[in-house]
Amino acid sequence: MAQSLPNTTSVSRLRSIISGSIGNLVEWYDWYAYSGFALYFAPVFFPNGNDTAKLLNTAAIFAVGFLMRPLGAWLLGAYADQHGRRAALLLSVRLMAGGSLLIAIAPGYSRIGVLAPALLLLARLVQGLSVGGEYGTSATYLSEMAGARHRGFWSSFQYLTLMGGQLLALVVLLGLQQVMSPVQLGEWGWRIPFVIGAMAALGALYLRTHMGETAAFAEQQQHGQPETDDEGLPVRSRPSQLTVLLQYPKAVLTVVGLTLGGTLAFYTYTTYAQKFLVNTSGFSKESATLISFGVMTVALLFQPLLGAISDKVGRRPVLLMFGIGATLGTVPLLRTLAQTHDAWVAAGLLVAALFVVSGYTSISAVVKAELFPTEIRALGVGLPFALTVAIFGGTAEYVALFAKDQGVEEWFYWYVTVCALISLLVYWHMGETRAEKGQMRHD
């Protein structure tokens, strides 16, 4: 059965998309604030060792947070497919608010010893659950709420707000660097962005309480009720969501393959790039932050642009642009970036890299959503994506820093290249997910 459009006015649909997108932005701000301020709070929780060792410890906890994302994708994805996209989005933002608040108030190593990094780890685990559930549910919500003709454009707001959250974290970092000394930032100023994040999450929670549910989910609920006997009891129990998901092995493997290279490249040129500029290229922390800010601002514009292009030419050509560009360009670009000391050259290289990566990020959400039917869409989008991101995206910083610490930093460049090549092969052999009339699967 073809999916009908949401039974709402264009204004209310747009309001719901914006509310969902703002909530997504806040969640990703909270997530990226950890990475952006790690340079300052690493000594608070891990006081011993050299600078690279401290960053390795904070990167390890960053990676562990990613390992919780598959669990969050499973739990909240199944919850979204059974109880609604809106209910799951409300739960995810509550979890993120709690995690951010815990980081903001956690005592340092000098006060409570090993309990300090333990609290930091706990907070990241909670945030990992939140972000893991957020991606699949948000991608599903935006894709189902958007009209058929412009689904690629509106779904691009998934990564637009994801990158916007990182940009917002950088704005806060730049602002604090202007009004506080490095000593003040290292002692207590790094807590401010997490307080902001917790408060913003409460605001996002308010917005999400006023979102509408998607018509696709409502229709699926109406036609997917279990059969009952004369007494109103279910004739048979429904299979678990995970069991239903396993009925779509090709779609699951496609999500893994198309995500592999994209997530690794994305985290290489966003969260790790700031540390790369400091630790490898030799820029100051302030200069690296300013470069990252400018690059991310430009990269935001690529998301709706390429999303709209995919509505015209299809999803596959846009994915192929990323796959070919990342496979051929990663090694020479990172080699050049490592050697440059010119901020404009560094910014230009990163803008070029993120334009290529936008071939993946701009349509990542809609491509995955178009692979699955309504009743399993949130879990189908979220779980294989989260597993892939946990293994490859979440460990990008750690692998890169480890390679540098071992004196073989270029191995990481080739690692990114090989993963991009694998994704390119998937894009080359996969079919076009954009249906002729823009309809999503509803069987």
In angstroms, the CA 69 to CA 390 distance is 7
In angstroms, the CA 235 to CA 227 distance is 6
Q: What is the pLDDT of residue 228?
A: 43
What is the gyration radius of the CA atoms in the chain, in angstroms? 21
Token pair belonging to 126 = 């909670």
User: What's the chain's average pLDDT?
Assistant: 81
Collapse the DSSP code of 228 into the 3-class scheme (helix H, G, I; strand E, B; otherwise coil) and give the result.
Answer: strand
Q: What is the pLDDT of residue 22?
A: 76
What is the rounded average pLDDT of the residues 168-192? 87
- Least confident interval from 120-134, 210-224, 252-266: 210-224
Token pair belonging to 20 = 């969902």
Cβ atoms of residues 433 and 364 within 8 Å = no
Give the chain's domains with CATH numbers.
10-219+241-429 (1.20.1250.20)
How is residue 192 annotated by DSSP? Answer: H
How is residue 190 annotated by DSSP? Answer: G
Read off the pLDDT of residues 208-258 as tens digits, 9 standing for 90 and up.
Answer: 887 777 766 777 666 655 444 444 444 445 566 777 777 888 888 999 998
pLDDT category at 147 given cuts 50, 70, 90 is low
DSSP secondary structure letters along 277-321: HHHTS---HHHHHHHHHHHHHHHHHHHHHHHHHHHHH-HHHHHHH
In angstroms, the CA 113 to CA 45 distance is 8
In angstroms, the CA 401 to CA 31 distance is 20
Task: Please report, in angstroms and rounded to a whole number, the separation of the first and last CA atoms in the chain.
Answer: 6
Q: What is the pLDDT of residue 226?
A: 46
Token pair belonging to 183 = 């000593």
Cβ atoms of residues 151 and 311 within 8 Å = yes
pLDDT category at 440 given cuts 50, 70, 90 is low
Q: CB-side exposure of 439: number of CA atoms within 13 Å? A: 9
Model confidence at 408: pLDDT above 80? yes
Question: Greater confidence, 362 or 43?
Answer: 362
Q: What is the pLDDT of residue 413?
A: 94
Cβ atoms of residues 77 and 374 within 8 Å = no
Q: What is the pLDDT of residue 50?
A: 57
CA distances from 307 to 155, 240, 311 (A): 7, 34, 7
Model confidence at 305: pLDDT above 80? yes
Q: What is the pLDDT of residue 54?
A: 63
pTM, to two decimals: 0.76
pLDDT category at 12 given cuts 50, 70, 90 is low
CA distances from 139 to 21, 73, 368 (A): 10, 12, 8
Question: Greater confidence, 64 or 260?
Answer: 260
Model confidence at 442: pLDDT above 60? no
In angstroms, the CA 102 to CA 66 distance is 18
What is the rounded average pLDDT of the residues 17-43? 78
**Residue environment code for 11-45, b if the CB has 16+ CB neighbours within 10 A, otherwise e:** eebebbbebbbbbbbbbbbbbbbbbbbbbbbbbbb
DSSP secondary structure letters along 406-432: TT-THHHHHHHHHHHHHHHHHHHHSPP
pLDDT category at 5 given cuts 50, 70, 90 is very low
Cβ atoms of residues 319 and 258 within 8 Å = yes
What is the rounded average pLDDT of the residues 93-98? 87
Q: What is the pLDDT of residue 298?
A: 92
In angstroms, the CA 437 to CA 140 distance is 19
Collapse the DSSP code of 234 into the 3-class scheme (helix H, G, I; strand E, B; otherwise coil) and give the result.
Answer: strand
Question: Greater confidence, 228 or 150?
Answer: 150
In angstroms, the CA 183 to CA 404 distance is 27
Instruction: Single out the residue of 314, 322, 316 nearest to residue 419, CA to CA.
Output: 322
Query: What's the angle, vertex CA 420, arms to CA 305 and CA 403, rounded to 5?
Result: 120
Model confidence at 64: pLDDT above 80? no
Model confidence at 160: pLDDT above 70? yes
Q: What is the pLDDT of residue 117?
A: 81
Percent of the chain topping pLDDT 90? 22
pLDDT category at 437 given cuts 50, 70, 90 is very low
